Amino acid sequence: MKLFAERILLSSGWHTEQTLTIEDGVITSIDSGYINDAEKVGVVIPGMVNCHSHAFQRAFAGFSEQGSEGKDSFWTWRSIMYKFIDQLTVKDAQIIATQLYIEMLKMGYTRVAEFHYLHHEINGDNHTELAEMAKAIFKASQQSGIGLTLLPVLYRFSGFGPLPANDGQKRFINSVEQFNQLVSDCFTLSSEYENTNVGIAPHSLRAVDKPSLEQAVKHVRSLDNKAPVHIHIAEQQKEVDDCLAHYGQRPVEWLLNNAQLDEQWCLIHATHINEQERQGIVASKAIAGICPTTEANLGDGIFPTTEFLAEKGTIAIGSDSHISVNPVEELRWLEYAQRLIKQQRAILASENEASVGRNLWQQAALGGAQSTNSNTGELAIGKQADLLVLDTKKVALFAHDDQHLLDSMIFASQQNMVNDVMVNGHWVIKAGAHSLEKKAEQAFSLLLASLSA
Ligand SMILES: [Zn+2]
C-alpha cells in the first residue's frame, strides 16, 4: 500500500508531502510528492511503544484511592491488588487485556511490553497448559491489533532471604525449570501470532535470587540472543533498604555487579539510584523504563531524568498500573516532575532538539523499540509501519508549525489528538474508533460489575 502524508516526522526530521510505500508491514520507500493511488492523510508521527504493562491491573485502576489516615503506601496498594486478582479467570484476563490494548491504540501506543506474572489458576495450581494465561494475552493482542512483546515473569520468593512466597503470590510462582518451560512455550505461541515476540522479566531482586536469575537469562538468550530482559529494580526506598541489608549493595549496584547488562535490559522504576548507579546504567547501555503516572500514583519517587538524559542514557515509558493509558500524560509528567524539583522550565530538551515535546516523543519511542527488540520507534525505510495520524483540525488549533507541534500536543492539548493508527501496515484505528471497541467495552463493563474490589 501507499500512504501520502501532508506532514510527517521521519527519523531525519519533519517533511511535507511524502509518499510511503509499505509492503508486508514495512516501509520500503519514501518519496517526495504524491504517487498515484496513495491514500491521503494529514500529519503523521511514529507510534509510541509502551515498555511496561500489567494488563489485569486495568480492571483495578481507581479502586485503591480511598485514604486511611495517611497510612497508605505502595505496600498497602499491593495487598489490595493481590486480593483483587484472587478472582480473575483466563477469560477475564483476556477481556481486560483486549479492552486495555484497544484503549492504548486509541491513545497512540502501537506496541506493548506485557510484564506478565498472573500465570496459574486461582488456587495456585498450574493450568493444564502451562501457557494458558499467556495465550489469553497473545489473543488480546491479535484481537486489538497492537504489537506485543510478552515478558513472562519469573517470581520465586516474597522477599530477600529468600523468603517463601506468601498466599497472595501463589498464582505467580514457578520453579526455574517450570519457568523456562513456560518461556519455551511462549516462543512457540509467538510464532503463531503476528507482530509478537518474547523476552523475560525476572520480577525484582526481592523475587529472584542470583542462580535463578542467571538460569532464566541463559535460557531465554539460548532461544533468542537479543531477547529483552526487564526487571523491577528500585521502585521503593524499602526495597533499597532491604537489598542493602541482605546483599550489602543497593539494587542497581548489585545488578551492575552481578548481571551482564546490555542494551536489551530494561530497568523498570530505577527510581532510587545514586550517581554511580545512574552512570553505571548509562555505561551498560541498559534502558531506564519510567512510568511517571504510576510512580506518582503509588508514591514511589522521581527518577533523575535530567541527569540521565544529559549523560546520554536511553529512556522508555510505560503505563504500568494503567492509572493513565496515555503517552502524552506520561511524557508531560516526566517533564513536569523535573520542573517541580528544579524550579526551572523546558528541561528535557537536548543539544540537537530544543523542543521538549519532540525530544521526549522521539527518545521514548526509540527507547521503547529497543526495550522490545522490535523494528519500530521511528519512521524510515526498513522500519515497521507503526504510525499515528493526528487530527488535522486539532493540530491547526494547537500548533501552527512543525517546531511547536509535539510541544503543543504534550503540554497544551486537552483532547486526544490521535485520529488514525496503523500497526505493522494495518489500520487498527480509523477516525478515533476501533472496530471491536463496542463489543470489548461491553464485555469489560460486565466483568467489572461482577468483580469485587
Ligand atoms: Zn510493574
Q: Is 404 a catalytic residue?
A: no
**Residue 128 reports pLDDT greater than 70:** yes
Lookup: cell for 300: 514511589
Task: Tell me the C-alpha distance between 315 and 354, whole Å.
Answer: 18
Average pLDDT, the chain: 96
SS (H, E, C) 135-161: HHHHHHHHHHCCEEEEEEEEECEEECC
**Residue 70 reports pLDDT greater than 80:** no
Question: What is the pLDDT at residue 135?
Answer: 98
Amino acid letter, 424: N
**Residue 13 reports pLDDT greater than 70:** yes
Looking up cell 511503544 gives 49
The band of 221, judged by pLDDT with boundaries at 50, 70 and 90, is very high
User: 33 C-alpha to center of ligand 1: Å?
Assistant: 44
Question: What is the pLDDT at residue 77?
Answer: 83
Task: Answer whether 368's CB lies under 8 Å from 378's CB.
Answer: no
**Residue 294 reports pLDDT greater than 80:** yes
- Length of the chain, please? 453
Average pLDDT estimate for 252-266 = 98
| Comparison of pLDDT for 451 and 106, the residue scoring more | 106
User: 83 C-alpha to center of ligand 1: Å?
Assistant: 17
Task: Answer whether 41's CB lies under 8 Å from 5's CB.
Answer: yes
User: 204 C-alpha to center of ligand 1: Å?
Assistant: 10
- Partnered with residue 229 across adjacent β-strands are 200, 265
| Residue 410 main-chain phi, psi, to 5 deg | -80, -35
**Residue 106 reports pLDDT greater than 80:** yes
Catalytic residue among 320, 391, 407, 420: 320
Mean pLDDT check: name the lowest of 35-39, 61-65, 423-427.
61-65
Lookup: cell for 380: 524510515
Catalytic residue among 52, 54, 230, 269: 269
User: 289 C-alpha to center of ligand 1: Å?
Assistant: 10
User: 359 C-alpha to center of ligand 1: Å?
Assistant: 25
User: 51 C-alpha to center of ligand 1: Å?
Assistant: 10
Q: Has this prediction a pTM greater than 0.95?
A: yes
Closest CA to 266 of 280, 254, 247, 281: 281
Domains and CATH numbers, the chain: 48-371 (3.20.20.140)
Mean pLDDT check: name the lowest of 193-202, 371-380, 389-398.
389-398
Beta strands 418-423; 163-164: pairing state:
unpaired
User: 268 C-alpha to center of ligand 1: Å?
Assistant: 7
User: 112 C-alpha to center of ligand 1: Å?
Assistant: 13
Average pLDDT estimate for 156-180 = 94
Question: What is the pLDDT at residue 76?
Answer: 83
Question: Is residue 355 classed exposed, middle or buried when 0-12, 13-18 and 19+ CB atoms within 10 A define those classes?
Answer: buried
- Partnered with residue 109 across adjacent β-strands are 48
Query: DSSP label at 320?
Result: B
User: 378 C-alpha to center of ligand 1: Å?
Assistant: 25
Q: Is 269 a catalytic residue?
A: yes
Question: What is the pLDDT at residue 67?
Answer: 79
Question: What is the pLDDT at residue 303?
Answer: 98
Cα distances from 449 to residues 57, 104, 133, 344, 445, in angstroms, run: 15, 22, 22, 45, 6
The band of 219, judged by pLDDT with boundaries at 50, 70 and 90, is very high
State pLDDT tens for residues 71-88: 788 888 888 888 888 899
User: 196 C-alpha to center of ligand 1: Å?
Assistant: 20
User: 142 C-alpha to center of ligand 1: Å?
Assistant: 23
Sign of CA dihedral 374, 377, 381, 387: positive
Average pLDDT estimate for 438-444 = 98
The band of 453, judged by pLDDT with boundaries at 50, 70 and 90, is low
Task: Answer whether 76's CB lies under 8 Å from 65's CB.
Answer: no
* Whole-number CA gyration radius for the chain: 21
Average pLDDT estimate for 207-221 = 98
Q: Is the peptide bond before 162 cis (omega within 30 degrees of 0)?
A: yes
Task: Tell me the C-alpha distance between 238 and 300, whole Å.
Answer: 10
